[in-house]
Amino acid sequence: MFSLPDKHTIVTGAGSGIGKAVALMLAKRGAVVYVVDIQEDQATAVVEEIVKAGGKAIAKTVDVSDQQKVDALFQSLPRLDILINSAGVSHIGTAESTSEADFDRLYRVNVKGVYNCLRAGIPLLKKSDNGVIINVCSIAATIGIPDRFAYSMTKGAVYSMTLSVARDYLKDHIRCNCISPARVHTPFVDGFLKKNYPGREQEMFEKLSKTQPIGRMAKPEEVAGLILYLCSDEAGFITGCDYPIDGGFTKLNN
């Protein structure tokens, strides 16, 4: 079950965090993974880890907000079976405290970046006749999170794009779903705590962990496991869905 033999797969933002965990897991299941990241050294390191474990992977350095470079990337592929839109940036702020520059930056990466990859990837996925798209969304798309104004806006767009693509490409046998994590323990979290709470990192880590009713943050590998299932033939009847993976945050946080 859950095998992806020779499925040509793009994972954006695969140099670290959720994207890295997804690239590693799909490669272990037989996928040929294009590890896409804006940081060349990180993409290369992930590829080396995959190859060392006996998998197949190729590093690609691309800024997903640059349409010409995204087009060139997809045009260079022999084929595409799976597209994972995981690249993204975060931001802390309300409507008042969010600068225009930060708003534009989040839109450029989190919204336009997904659009660029969808636009370039769908023609290839049509040829697969069994294409899969997974967009990494967030619980912030559907519930109010304090101080996440611009970030929530972008994830709401990702959620809407997921539904639209799922509907438009039914006839092309392309399944499109998204997943919505709550807090996931990634290097971004550690960097955020170090920058904003120097000397109080452990205290704040525990506080943030306990906002999930289950009492901890998710592991990137747990998120990758859900994505693996949605990419597999076992999920062949699933499209146009959003899957929370949130430790009970959206339903049990009363």
> Each residue of 10-41: pLDDT tens digit?
999 999 999 999 999 999 999 999 999 999 99
DSSP string over 92-157: -B-TTT--HHHHHHHIIIIIIHHHHHHHHHHHHHHHHSS-EEEEE--GGGTS--TTBHHHHHHHHH
What is the pLDDT confidence band of residue 42, given thresholds at 50, 70 and 90?
very high
Q: Is residue 12 located within the same domain as residue 108?
A: yes
Contact 230, 30 (CB under 8 A): no
**254 in any annotated domain:** no
Q: Is residue 51 located within the same domain as residue 122?
A: yes
pLDDT tens-digit series, residues 62-107: 999 999 999 999 999 999 999 999 999 999 999 999 999 999 999 9
pTM greater than the 0.75 cutoff: yes
Q: Is residue 107 located within the same domain as residue 200?
A: no
For 28, the token pair is: 């272990």
Q: Is residue 118 located within the same domain as residue 132?
A: yes
Mean pLDDT of the chain: 96
Q: Is residue 168 located within the same domain as residue 191?
A: no
Q: Are strands 82-85 and 8-12 parallel, antiparallel or unpaired?
A: parallel
**1 in any annotated domain:** no
Residue-number span of the structural domain to which 210 is assigned? 185-217
Q: Is residue 195 located within the same domain as residue 114?
A: no
Q: Is residue 172 located within the same domain as residue 195?
A: no
Q: Is the pLDDT of residue 5 over 90?
A: yes
Q: What is the CATH number of the domain that holds 67?
A: 3.40.50.720
**Catalytically annotated residues:** 151
Residue range 40-64: mean pLDDT, rounded: 98
How far apart CA 112 and CA 120 sit, in angstroms, is 12
Q: Is residue 107 located within the same domain as residue 199?
A: no
**115 in any annotated domain:** yes
- Longest Cα–Cα distance in the chain: 55
**2 in any annotated domain:** no
**86 in any annotated domain:** yes
- When divided into structural domains, the chain yields a total of 2
Residue range 42-52: mean pLDDT, rounded: 98
Burial of 185 (0-12, 13-18, 19+ CB in 10 A): middle
